[in-house]
Chain A
Amino acid sequence: MGEQMFGYEFYVDPSRCIGCQSCVNACAECETHRGTPMIHVDFLDRANSISTVPFVCMHCDDPTCAKVCPADAIKQTEDGVVQSSLKPRCIACSNCVLACPFGIPKMMTELEQMMKCDMCYDRTSEGKRPMCATVCPSQALAYVPREQIERTRRDKPTNVFLFGKQRVTTKVFMMLPPERDALSVDVVDYMWEAKHESAS
């Protein structure tokens, strides 16, 4: 692995996830927040399926968490990594926690600070891959060159997400079936699902 991770990008492929929580456990080994994982893995609907999905910060180009922060405590690095709140500024109001479309930030009440995945800044700046993407046994989380993902995966990366009318673009890519360009999540989807559940 080179000194710099030039050309490497972060890819999330939920369809590969096996729910093993290796990422969660490895995240808790990261030096900057050792003992506290910044990732979570959820079953989508355990009663009906074994499908799981890992959540890491997507590192939005124009992060909602930062936009709603009344204390201007959430900053991006030059290369687009959205960081945990700045301790001196953070007022622990949880606006970011509520507003993030991906549900990523965690309010650490005992620290009075929001903490989140910073894509292992301490590791990538030393030429190491992020902890979670290094250990992930299914490579649902992968930190590899774009060329490699295009050559080796059936699915296609996107970084465009539509939450109703909000269009979010991100530094982290999500793998989608080749026929889809963007991931759209609309309230209507949930209305249908609710109706479906009550009918069954």
Chain B
Amino acid sequence: MAKPPLPIETLIDRYGPHLNYVPPGGWRDESRHPAEKLVKTHCCFCGQQCGIQLKVRGNQVIGFEPWEEFPFNQGMLCPKGVKRYLQANHPDRLLDPLLRTENGFRVATWDEALNFTARRLREIQERHGKDAVAIFGGASLTTEKSYLLGKFARVALGTRHIDYNGRLCMVSAGTAYKLAFGVDRSPIPWSDIPKAQVLLIAGSNVAECSPITTDYVWRCRDNGGKLIVIDPRMTPITRNADLYLPVRPGMDVVLLMSLLHVILRDGLEDREFIAKYTSGFEPIADSVKQYDPKRAAELTGVPPDSIEKAAHWFGEADRAIALHARGIEHQSKGVENCSAIINLCLATGNIGREGAGCSMITGQGNGQGGREHGQKCDQLPGQRQIDDPDARAHVAKVWGISPEEIPQAGLTAQEIMNAIHAGEIKALLSMCFNPLVSLPNADFTREALEKLEFFGVVDFFLSETAHHADVVLAGSLQEEDEGVAANVEGRVIHIQKAVDPPGNARVDWEIYCDLARRLGKEKFFPYKSSRDIFGELREASRGGHADYYGITYEKIDRQMGVFWPCPSLDHPGTPRLFEDLKSLHRDGKFRFLPTPYRESGDPVSEEFPVYLTTGRVVSQYLSGTQTRRIGALVDQYPEPRVEIHPRLAEQHGIKDGDWVSITSRRAEIILRAMVVRTIRPDTVFIPYHWAGRKSANKLTHRTLDPRSKIPEFKVSACRISKAEKPPE
């Protein structure tokens, strides 16, 4: 039913993406009409959550000024941060709710749009049961909104199906860290990175996806540290790598196990640490015996000498840090890959000390905070497990309901889309998520969206996914509301409101409170401000692992961020975890975890002999809903190109700039070639920020890690050939 009401081209003409190049009034306007105020806040994009000052005049964001006092980034910003202000005052901005009609979308009043939404949700739940409705959230939302969304799903709708786009980001790491440490947070503050003697970076394009971390890495090297990079591609961070390990896609776990093999073979482990503070070591030691460097080299494509050297550097260092990101996490064995990193750190006693440890590099703006307080299908606020009776009792009390009323865990993001495709879930209400671009197998996602009986979207721009909506509720940009987020380190920061939403657009949390009222649940959503929501969230998180009880907006401003857990108002926060060398498990032990190798869900074959891996470029962010509308960022990297090694290109007669057909088991797309020696010859790379025929996710597959349920974006199989002409 929910096919786009007009041809996509017509929708794009009307709703964009159009390119915004200049601030309001033009480049020269600020010299005539200077800013009235500078608002100290944070970038709206990635998990670094850089401090930035927005210049504001007349309820418009007109520019920015670096915020040098904020300790994490000290004024540094990537190009997305520099140009972020151009998302405000954008011609594509949705200023009113929209209702779908026979011939497009029409502007509606809020009453019309909200009444319609509430009526459809109620009808579908009455006919097909509570769980026929699902909620999608996103990790760019403030923690208040994430919390509210979790409560809305469980209390206002009573559905168990709520999940978020962090399912495509942080869940493999989160699962592994919870299993090993009992808690899902970076164990280290970023100030530890320059103090490490050896820094291992696995599957992270730091320079493009978390650019500010680059300076931390370079400072580590300037202090004499050695940098080891594991990646099938030479990303910019490899330019100063002391050792580069060009792993074959999907073979990371074998490489990491081989490093542990060498460490144990040569007696470089920390036996006292293992005996006193860990459990489960013996089976892990046995499991790595099979991967001597020679065998591992055959499987991973990394020379045995490099494996030996990396293992010795890591094992011999007093202080080593291992950082990892989506490269190893976006796999059907994403949890095992992260566990293998943790095993390395535990075996060498690298945890709970300055300059030692491991960390995931959280990708999305509030990737950390957004996963702690309830929009993840299996968690309640405070990073509590939804199946834990004590957790249910605590949260139910805060919410004023009985524990039995809280639904049990629902499906994860991709599983929700699968259930929509199967006709089991009939309605979807989505905010801050553009699954048509960001989920794997885009054609499948499109088919699923077309089957929805009701699809409501809350967003500030009309994303490609929202083309399929029945109703679009015009929400707010990050700078239009107050709240908190937690950055990559677990530092809770304060997002300041700089301007009011323009036109008839509304602050997101108000939209949900109004919907709750129409669903007859008004008394559970009495908030008058973000601050009210935060107050309740503090109580709901109290006593959980992610304890925010001692955090206030004022304390964040005073301390330039507060690291959770922060259990009381006089508690300063916890920058480094595990300083007492105890995990948060009941027995206090750090757990070694098994990391068996499994084949990719989309293996290379005779027919599809080339590995396809996907990722990001520095000038675009995620599905591009915001950054594909900012002129300078689009000019910097206008459209996706497929990176091919000259040896592979030559086999197919492909030259730099040629059109290339890339075909997977699901689809074909045609892109221009970028012939470069900085990628493995058996692998091609495509950045995924684009929609439609340029979408890398038309090619990727829906295989999930069995525990984290993250899709395997980083390993697909494809074949390539020279295309005679550009795509239609």
List of A residues within 8 angstroms of B238 by Cβ:
50
Give, as a whole number of angstroms, the nearest-CB distance from B213 to chain A: 8
Interface string of A19-37 (1 = CB under 8 A from B): 1111011101101001100
Known: A21-B636, A34-B27. A26 touches B77 (CB 8 A): yes
B674 to chain A: closest residue by CB: A46
CA distance A188 to B27 in the complex (A): 45
Chain B residues closer than 8 Å to A26, beta-carbon distance = 77, 82
> A47: which B residues are within 8 A, CB to CB?
646, 656, 675-677
B22, B219, B239: the one within 8 Å of A51 (CB): B239
26 A-B contacts (beta carbon < 8 Å): A16-B218, A18-B208, A22-B79, A22-B82, A25-B83, A26-B82, A29-B82, A31-B31, A34-B28, A35-B22, A47-B646, A47-B675, A47-B677, A48-B677, A51-B239, A52-B236, A135-B66, A135-B81, A137-B76, A137-B78, A137-B214, A137-B215, A138-B211, A138-B214, A138-B218, A154-B221
Besides the known contacts A29-B82, A35-B22, A137-B212, 7 further A-B residue pairs in the complex with CB atoms under 8 A apart: A15-B239, A20-B236, A20-B619, A129-B75, A137-B73, A138-B207, A139-B218
How many residues of A sit at the interface, in one of the four size bands? 20 to 34
- Give the A-B contact count at a CB cut-off of 8 A: 113
Q: Which residue on chain B has the smallest CB distance to residue A28?
A: B632
The residue that A21 contacts in the complex, of B64, B73, B79, with Cβ under 8 A, is: B79
Using known A-B contacts A25-B82, A29-B63, determine if residue A134 contacts B31 with beta carbons closer than 8 Å: no
Knowing A22-B211, A47-B675, the reply to whether A137 touches B77 (Cβ < 8 A) is yes
Q: Report the Cα distance A139→B221, complex, angstroms.
A: 13
A-facing residues in B230-254 (Cβ within 8 Å): 234-240
For A139, the closest partner residue in chain B by CB is B215
Which residues of B have CB within 8 Å of A29? 63-64, 82
B552 within 8 Å of A by Cβ? no
Q: Give the interface size bracket for B toward A.
A: 35 or more
For B211, B235, B236, the residue with the greatest tally of chain A CB atoms inside 10 Å of its CB is: B236
Check if B76 sits within 8 Å of A20, measured CB to CB. no
Cβ of A22 and Cβ of B77 under 8 Å apart? Answer: yes
Q: Are A134 and B75 in contact (CB under 8 A)?
A: yes
In Å, the complex CA distance between A136 and B30 comes to: 23
Nearest opposing residue in chain B for A15, CB measure: B240
Q: Which residues of A contact B728 (CB under 8 A)?
A: none
In the docked arrangement, what's the CA distance between A48 and B676, Å? 6
Q: Which residues from chain B contact A154 at a C-beta distance below 8 Å?
A: 221-222, 224
Contact status A50-B234, CB under 8 Å: yes
Question: Is the beta-carbon distance between A20 and B30 smaller than 8 angstroms?
Answer: no
Q: A26-B82, A52-B236, A134-B75 are in contact. Are A31 and B215 (CB under 8 A)?
A: no
- Residue A1, interface by CB 8 Å: yes
Docked complex: B612-627 residues within 8 A CB-CB of A: 618-619
Q: Which chain B residue shows the least CB distance to A136?
A: B76
User: 0/1 per residue, A123-146, Cβ < 8 Å to B?
Assistant: 000000101001111110000000
Report the nearest A residue to B218, measured CB to CB.
A16
Give Cα A25–Cα B630 distance, bound, in whole angstroms.
12
Residue of A nearest to B67 (CB): A134
Complex CA distance for A20 and B210, rounded to whole angstroms: 11
Q: Which residues of A contact B239 (CB under 8 A)?
A: 15, 18, 49-51
Q: Give the shortest distance, in Å, between B228 (CB) and chain A (any CB).
A: 17
Report Cα–Cα, A136/B221, bound state, in Å: 18
9 nearest A-B pairs in the assembled complex, by CB-CB distance:
A35-B27, A18-B207, A18-B236, A137-B211, A34-B27, A25-B82, A138-B214, A135-B77, A134-B75
**Interchain CA distance A25-B82 in the complex, whole Å:** 7
Closest to A49 in B: B678
Q: Which B residue sits closest to A24, measured CB to CB?
A: B79
Instruction: Return the contact of B222 from the options A22, A129, A153 (Cβ within 8 A).
Output: A153
For B63, the chain A residues whose CB sits under 8 A away are 29
Q: Considering the chains assembled together, what is the distance between the CA atoms of A51 and B212 in angstroms?
A: 18
* A24 contacts across to B, CB distance below 8 A: 79
Contacting pair A20 B632 (CB below 8 A) = no
Using a CB-CB cutoff of 8 Å, which residues 50-74 of chain B contact chain A?
Answer: 63-64, 66, 68, 73
Contact of A50 with B222 at beta-carbon distance under 8 Å, contacts A18-B211, A137-B211 already known = no
Check A134 against B78 for contact (C-beta < 8 Å): no
User: Bound complex: CA of A182 vs CA of B68, how far in Å?
Assistant: 32
In the bound complex, residues from chain A placing their C-beta under 8 Å from that of B214 are 16, 18, 137-138
Please tell me if A152 contacts chain B, counting CB pairs below 8 Å.
yes
**Chain A residue contacts of B677, Cβ below 8 A:** 47-49
| Docked CA distance A21–B78 (Å) | 8
Once bound together, how far apart are the Cα atoms of A154 and B220, in whole Å?
Answer: 10
User: In angstroms, how far is the closest chain A Cβ from the Cβ of B50?
Assistant: 9
Q: What 1/0 mask marks residues of chain B from 30 to 48 whose CB sits below 8 Å from any chain A CB? A: 1100000000000000000
Chain A's closest residue to B77 (CB) is: A135
Q: How far is the CA of A50 from the CA of B234 in the complex (A)?
A: 7
Taking A28-B632, A29-B82 as contacts, is the C-beta distance between A46 and B676 under 8 angstroms?
Answer: yes
Residues on B with beta carbons closer than 8 Å to the beta carbon of A25: 79, 82-83, 632
B78: A residues at CB distance < 8 A: 20, 22, 137
Contacts of A15 in B (CB 8 A): 239-240
Q: Which of A1, A19, A50, A135 is B76 in contact with, Cβ under 8 Å?
A: A135
Question: Which of chain B's residues 635-689 have a Cβ closer than 8 Å to chain A?
Answer: 636, 646, 656, 674-678
- Tell me, rounded to whole Å, the shortest Cβ–Cβ distance linking A154 to chain B: 5
CB of A130, distance to nearest CB on chain B (Å): 11
How far apart are the CA atoms of A25 and B228 in the complex, in Å?
30
Q: Smallest Cβ distance from A120 to chain B, in angstroms?
A: 12
B85 and chain A: residue at smallest CB distance: A29
